[in-house]
Amino acid sequence: MQVVEESAAKVNGAGLTERQSAVLESALNLLVEGGEKAVTTAGVARAANCSKESLYKWFGDRDGLLSAMIGYQAGKVRTVEVRAETLTVEGLRRHLSAFALDLLDVLSGDVSLALNRLAIGQTVRGERRGGAASGEATLGRLLEERGRRQIGRRATTLLEAGRKAGLLAFEDADEAYGTLYGLIVTDAHLRMLLGEDPRAMKKEFAGRAERAVTSFLTLYGVGAMADA
Amino acid sequence: MQVVEESAAKVNGAGLTERQSAVLESALNLLVEGGEKAVTTAGVARAANCSKESLYKWFGDRDGLLSAMIGYQAGKVRTVEVRAETLTVEGLRRHLSAFALDLLDVLSGDVSLALNRLAIGQTVRGERRGGAASGEATLGRLLEERGRRQIGRRATTLLEAGRKAGLLAFEDADEAYGTLYGLIVTDAHLRMLLGEDPRAMKKEFAGRAERAVTSFLTLYGVGAMADA
DNA sequence: AAGATTGCGTACCGTACGGTACGGTTCGGC
DNA sequence: GCCGAACCGTACCGTACGGTACGCAATCTT
């Protein structure tokens, strides 16, 4: 269910060998291309030129492989920290727009969509899939933890900075972020998850982001901020 | 891939026998309980006390069964038509709140979540799953068509009515609906799809709905409407 | 240089599931 | 009262996949 090997070999970001990372990359390719059913142990082994035995040694079992795929991909996304000081009216708006576009870009990425589909497909009503130990995290949880939580942090710090600079007014930063998120994403994410072509939607991203930011500033902006 | 039988027997809403509807109901139960992997042909047959042969006769193959499940469930949801005339300020707000609550209730329903997970899990990058005929619609498309499109229609007519009564101001009704949807749902739907417990979230629905409507009226309300 | 470790390739096993076939039974029409 | 259709229950088949075992080459250790 999780990575085992942790030898002294040159390791990548997490406790992953270069080789293992390459294997996960192959697996992600397969997933993007053919969905969950395409990620068979034999298929991954063939695509990555490794043996099934190594797969099981490294990742425990198929679920461990899937978890590792999520962890690996999530590890690649690094949030750009925003320098909070010297926040002007224009600056805040620009930062918000940039965030909106980034968010839409991330959510519409092939790999992101594939991983979300995977995690959602595994999920069952009561959580807690067949997996062994009770301490085992669900793929959905994992994705949420390492994915959106991360990107949400970036947004909330930005919002806090805006408030501290007297440009925004709100009580609960998380709630304000929720509103911002809703204004930006609306149902676009779900539509893409259901198969809508992301390329067709990407054309609207710029306009969508602008409108969302404008609306957000109308709702939470202070004074001149709201006129934008 | 689709319903075949259309005999003279007493049919339900669509071209479905009572018996067939009962079978689909069983299948939905199984899906809610155990996710997609629990919906095996043998399992459905056992749960519904029917033979596999009948399943294949009625629904063609497993995909046909899954499609039929979506169609059947979607057919049960009937949108409450809103009488557009005599729309007052209070009335519009009440209608919007009611819509918001209904939307959240629908999206957080066990069956809805299970079906969305199913459709999303089947989806692959290029759409068009292995299924035979090219005219075959994806489960995702089907769900979108019969599900949200339907509920969206109710909202847009409400919004149009509000505009006609001079209470709302917007250019594109669909865009306004998108904003409303985003304000109401934010990322709650996705979180539930990923396994977050719906019961825990339902407690916040009322507050969330109110806030969303207030924000929406701030953005699109005319005059006194926006003060609510 | 000899032994150990790692890992590839392949073959193998058990199982579970999609799909089909068949015998027996109930029910409606004539 | 007979015939046929629909249908249930079960048994069956082929396959595909998860997981394990083994033989052998390459690389590392001492």
Task: List pLDDT tens digits, range B71-129.
Answer: 999 888 776 666 656 789 899 999 999 999 999 999 999 999 999 999 999 999 876 54
> CB–CB of A182/A207 below 8 Å?
no
Task: Give the confidence band of A146 by pLDDT, cuts at 50, 70, 90.
Answer: confident
* Residue ranges in chain B assigned as alpha helix (H): 18-34, 41-48, 52-59, 62-76, 89-107, 110-122, 139-143, 149-164, 173-185, 188-193, 198-202, 205-220
How many Å from the CA of B51 to C1' of D7?
A: 7
Structural tokens at position B225? 């409407």
Per-residue pLDDT tens digits for B169-204? 999 999 999 999 999 999 999 999 999 999 999 999
Task: Closest CB to A124: pick one of B34, B186, B212.
Answer: B34
For residue A126, pLDDT beyond 80: no
Closest CA to A209 of A189, A178, A169, A180: A180
Task: Closest CB to A120: pick one of B121, B144, B211.
Answer: B121
**Mean pLDDT over the full length of chain B:** 88
pLDDT at A225: 62
Contacts with A187 from chain B: Cβ below 8 Å: 148, 178, 181-182, 185
- How far apart are alpha carbons A44 and A53 in whole angstroms? 12
Type of residue numbered A77: V
Rg (CA), chain B: 20
Per-residue pLDDT tens digits for B127-182? 654 444 444 678 998 898 888 888 899 999 999 999 999 999 999 999 999 999 99
- How far apart are alpha carbons A176 and B139 in whole angstroms? 34
Other CB atoms closer than 10 Å to residue A103's CB: what's the count?
23
Size of interface A-B (CB pairs under 8 A): 130
How many Å from the CA of B186 to C1' of D18?
A: 39
Structural tokens at position B151? 């509920």
Other CB atoms closer than 10 Å to residue A200's CB: what's the count?
9
3-class SS at A114?
helix
For A130, the closest chain B residue by CA position comes to B34
Stated length of chain B: 228
pLDDT at B12: 65
**Mean pLDDT over the full length of chain A:** 87
Average pLDDT over every residue of A98-125: 95
Task: Closest CB to B120: pick one of A110, A175, A193.
Answer: A193
For residue B56, pLDDT beyond 90: yes
| B120 Cβ under 8 Å from any chain A Cβ | yes
Nucleotides of C under 7 A from a protein CB: 6-11, 16-23
> CB–CB of B93/B213 below 8 Å?
yes
Determine whether A171 is exposed, middle or buried from the number of CB atoms within 10 Å of its CB (0-12, 13-18, 19+).
exposed
- How far apart are alpha carbons B113 and B110 in whole angstroms? 5
Write down the residue that tokens 């509000």 correspond to: B162
> What are the angstrom distances between the C-alpha of B214 and each of A65, A179, B95, B210, B226?
46, 12, 13, 6, 8
| A130 Cβ under 8 Å from any chain B Cβ | no
- How far apart are alpha carbons A16 and A7 in whole angstroms? 9
Structural tokens at position A204? 């609207």
Protein residue closest via CA to C1' of D8: B51
φ/ψ of residue B106, rounded to 5: -60, -50
Structural tokens at position A1? 């269910």
- How far apart are alpha carbons B27 and B163 in whole angstroms? 43
Per-residue pLDDT tens digits for A4-24? 333 444 566 567 888 999 999
Write down the residue that tokens 């949108």 correspond to: B79
How many Å from the CA of A9 to C1' of D27?
A: 13
- HEC string of A205-225 equals HHHHHHHHHHHHHHHHECHHH
| A5 Cβ under 8 Å from any chain B Cβ | no
Task: Closest CB to B117: pick one of A33, A120, A143.
Answer: A120
| A199 Cβ under 8 Å from any chain B Cβ | no
> What are the angstrom distances between the C-alpha of A39 and each of B23, B32, B63?
32, 24, 20
Task: Give the confidence band of A131 by pLDDT, cuts at 50, 70, 90.
Answer: very low
pLDDT at B128: 53
Interface test with B, best of A28, A112, A125 (most B CBs within 10 A): A125
For residue A135, pLDDT beyond 80: no
For residue A157, pLDDT beyond 80: yes
What single-letter DSSP state applies at residue A108? T
How many Å from the CA of A53 to C1' of C11?
A: 13
